[in-house]
Structure 1
Amino acid sequence: MAKKKKSFIREWLEAIFIALIVVLIIRSFLVEAFMIPTPSMEGSLLTGDFIIVNKAYYGPRTLRTPLSFPFAHQTLPFLSNVKGFIHTGILPYFRLPGFGEIKHNDIVVFNYPLDDDFPVDHKSHYIKRCVALPGDTLNIKNSSAYINGSQLENPEGVQFNYAVKSINNDPAFFRNNSFSVGGRHNAANEFRVPLNAQMVQQLSLDEEILSIIKTFDVPGAYQDFVFPYTEQLRWNIDHFGPIIIPEKNHSVKLTSSNIYLYKRIIEKYEGNELEENDGLFYINGEIAESYTFKMNYYFMMGDNRHYSSDSRFWGFVPEDHILGKASMVMFSLNPQQSNLKKIRWDRFFTLLN
């Protein structure tokens, strides 16, 4: 008896279903596209860049939240008030073998550690540059990272804050010349402008510019929004550390003077109950003089050093939050332009390093 031929509609539905499965596998384990929404990585990545993230390079992370709607992240498509997942049955962290390890100055995409209302794989996506690895001793001086006593080479496009004094009192002068303005500095005609070395050279040739001075907070000028939020350390975004980045299987002695560095790791990232009573620490009900880390941790910073929310503000990034390595800009759209002017033609298929 002849086999009944499938209908045209059924063939198309099967083809679409198979295609969706293939795309889902590629998106989950190999590569995924993201758009850069903020200027925190300028001048390496621009707002409006569409980038490819290589999930296979560090090893693809396996599914953590099985009850998730396919292709949804935090909410369902077109239903912003409906979650795209059910926060139950969370699977343990596991990562398949990859092609390499995270290195200093890699551009990394990861889940934002402080998004506690979401499972790890549904937390917001962040992109920063990794400046410190597990076991490193990190010190930040004048917004530059020093690793184990030696300065880490700054990326070519890294931007710092400058006080730029101009004959022109209108900040539109800078915007019209593709410079961001962070606000007035002191004098009426002096502005805070994030610049990289090339921009500094360009501005210095302009006859309307009177002076360009790099600005930093001074050491010891405590900022209460800087991790780990204690006046004992008196750290700020320009002068931070020294601090040892937690490393898997390494132990740290717990004291009243360092517990604020590791409290979130112990409780939130590694799932323990921590209590302090009469100068003693209790982990899961038992006295603990030290703690051994279960995961590796990383320290991330944006290339736009004075306009980036990064590890200086919220601390370490756990290894189970790492998504992949940013490898290429596919194309780029300037949100401040319209029509064909939006397209940044020179950024098509730009490799990242």
Structure 2
Amino acid sequence: MSEVNTKPQIKSDKPKKSPAREWFDSILFAVVAATLIRWLFMEAFTIPTPSMERSLMVGDFLFVSKLHYGTRTPRTPLQVPLTHQKIWGTEIPSFSDAIQLPSFRLPGFTHVKNGDIVVFNFPTEEQYPPDLRTNYIKRCIGIPGDVVEVRHRQVYVNGKETQNPPRMQLSYFLETTNPDLNDTFFRQFDIVNDYRKGSETYNWQPIEQYNDSTKANALVGYKLVTNAETIEKFRQFDWCKKIVPYDEERPAKPSPYSQIYGGALMNWTIDNFGPLTVPKKGVTIKLDSVNIALYGTVIQKYEDNGKVEVTPTQITVDGKPVTSYTFKQDYYFMMGDNRHNSYDSRYWGFVPEDHIVGKAVFIWMSIDPNPESFWNKIRWNRLFRIIE
């Protein structure tokens, strides 16, 4: 006896998706999911310059957490998903600034602290909206209200000497009797020159001096960019006569051509800088000539004050002179760990709070752009390293 299916048959009027439609839906879902993850939780970055060596190396691939400091709401909503400034592989802008929204920050589980390695939008890049400016990565040296100072290359915060990053790099002069030091030798100590087009970096280079007796240039030593641990190793070689640090002293008087923050009013250098107070939300300052030189750009460009005009002796807001000012948001002072090869707050000033992107948390891949051989292309010892 055969069985009979007595269950009612349900016929669906919904048409079956075509393969093309299924592919489209899958891609759309992936793009939406990736966009939300990138905006809310985590974003991948790569290190293109040596300003954070050797804490971060050129060719490091890292993840940056948006959750630590809180995710920013989009200021420029009209943008192609998963792009930044331009559409991939073209010079076509990936956004329209026809709509600009106020920026808010969702709650995070911490705040930017001294010593954090932070990704932020470069403040002075005015051709882009604030949330689409080029991403920079530096170490936070001063938080709102801190007094930052550099004395003979050593950083002080609020009058106290700070602990230097363990892999921080500085410039040194090595006087030697050995004329045969070369790339192979220096590479043993991770002192490598980067000859990429348009961004040459000389972490070692010979220094020559004219010799009157031979009527020719003669090698006297090498200029090195490295860390203190490596310098101590060099001191053990018998051909090492001496190693001295480069220290850019304060000039006798301010130079009107100085590119250091503070301009012609301050006689600061990258190695002898400050003291400088980092602006803090709610703090009021008197607008004298010194404070105008130090904070006039902040008031004019980052505080949404309307029409602001700044002269060496006066600031006007919408045509009205102001003699004091209360900051509307917090600011931060950033420096690269490669202290003599970093374009940072010593040159261009403070990072506004609404420019903070996130905290660098770990390296997941590292590729040497100038390996000795194909087998050394991947830096295996840097994979899945927590960033300090």
Aligned-partner residue type, residue 347 of structure 1: R
Question: CA distance change for structure 1 residues 276 and 298 in 2, over 3 Å: closer, same or farther?
Answer: closer
**DSSP-derived class of the 1:76 partner:** coil
**DSSP-derived class of the 2:243 partner:** strand
**DSSP-derived class of the 1:15 partner:** helix
2:292–2:312 contact (8 Å) kept in structure 1? no
- Separation (CA, whole Å) in 2 of partners of 1:94 and 1:8: 41
- Separation (CA, whole Å) in 1 of partners of 2:344 and 2:314: 32
Query: Which residue of the partner structure matches residue 105 of structure 1?
Result: 115
Q: How does 1:146-157 map to 2 (within 5 A)?
A: 146-157=156-167
Residue-by-residue CA offset, 1:146-165 (whole Å, 9 max, x unaligned): 11111111111111111112
Fraction of identical pairs, as percent:
40
- Separation (CA, whole Å) in 1 of partners of 2:323 and 2:274: 23
Report whether the alignment pairs 1:248 with 2:281. Answer: yes
Question: CA distance change for structure 1 residues 276 and 30 in 2, over 3 Å: closer, same or farther?
Answer: closer
Tell me by how many angstroms 1:201 deviates: 2.3
Residue-by-residue CA offset, 1:236-279 (whole Å, 9 max, x unaligned): 00011111100011111101222121121111111332335895
Aligned-partner residue type, residue 106 of structure 1: D
Query: Which residue of the partner structure matches residue 307 of structure 1?
Result: 341
Report whether the alignment pairs 1:225 with 2:259. Answer: yes
Report whether the alignment pairs 1:323 with 2:357. Answer: yes
2:300–2:310 contact (8 Å) kept in structure 1? no
Q: How does 1:156-171 map to 2 (within 5 A)?
A: 156-169=166-179
Report whether the alignment pairs 1:340 with 2:351. Answer: no
| Aligned-residue CA RMSD (Å) | 1.9
Report whether the alignment pairs 1:96 with 2:106. Answer: yes
Question: CA distance change for structure 1 residues 157 and 276 in 2, over 3 Å: closer, same or farther?
Answer: closer
- Separation (CA, whole Å) in 1 of partners of 2:312 and 2:42: 50
- Separation (CA, whole Å) in 1 of partners of 2:273 and 2:208: 25
Aligned-partner residue type, residue 104 of structure 1: N
Aligned-partner residue type, residue 148 of structure 2: L
Tell me by how many angstroms 1:307 deviates: 0.8
Q: How does 1:273-292 map to 2 (within 5 A)?
A: 273-275=307-309, 279-292=313-326
Aligned-partner residue type, residue 379 of structure 2: R
Tell me by how many angstroms 1:192 deviates: 1.8
Question: CA distance change for structure 1 residues 170 and 64 in 2, over 3 Å: closer, same or farther?
Answer: farther
Tell me by how many angstroms 1:189 deviates: 2.5
2:292–2:315 contact (8 Å) kept in structure 1? no
Report whether the alignment pairs 1:214 with 2:245. Answer: yes
1:107–1:130 contact (8 Å) kept in structure 2? yes
Consecutive unaligned residues in structure 2, runs of 5 or more: 1-10, 193-202, 210-218
Query: Which residue of the partner structure matches residue 301 of structure 2?
Result: 268
1:112–1:125 contact (8 Å) kept in structure 2? yes
Question: Which residue among 191, 194, 200 is the counterpart of 1:179?
Answer: 191
Query: Which residue of the partner structure matches residue 350 of structure 1?
Result: 385
Residue-by-residue CA offset, 1:287-335 (whole Å, 9 max, x unaligned): 3111111110000000011111100011001011100000001110010
1:129–1:300 contact (8 Å) kept in structure 2? yes
- Separation (CA, whole Å) in 2 of partners of 1:20 and 1:281: 47
Question: Which residue among 14, 33, 50 is the counterpart of 1:39?
Answer: 50
Residue-by-residue CA offset, 1:145-186 (whole Å, 9 max, x unaligned): 211111111111111111112223356355443314354557
- How many residues matched? 351
Instruction: Provide TM-score, normalisation by structure 1.
Output: 0.94
Aligned-partner residue type, residue 119 of structure 1: P
1:33–1:52 contact (8 Å) kept in structure 2? yes
Question: Which residue among 234, 257, 260 is the counterpart of 1:203?
Answer: 234
Question: Which residue among 121, 136, 141 is the counterpart of 2:146?
Answer: 136
Question: CA distance change for structure 1 residues 116 and 219 in 2, over 3 Å: closer, same or farther?
Answer: same
- Separation (CA, whole Å) in 2 of partners of 1:343 and 1:23: 26
**DSSP-derived class of the 1:213 partner:** strand
1:332–1:344 contact (8 Å) kept in structure 2? yes
**DSSP-derived class of the 1:25 partner:** helix
1:168–1:189 contact (8 Å) kept in structure 2? no
Question: Which residue among 29, 36, 59 is the counterpart of 1:18?
Answer: 29
- Separation (CA, whole Å) in 2 of partners of 1:256 and 1:318: 22
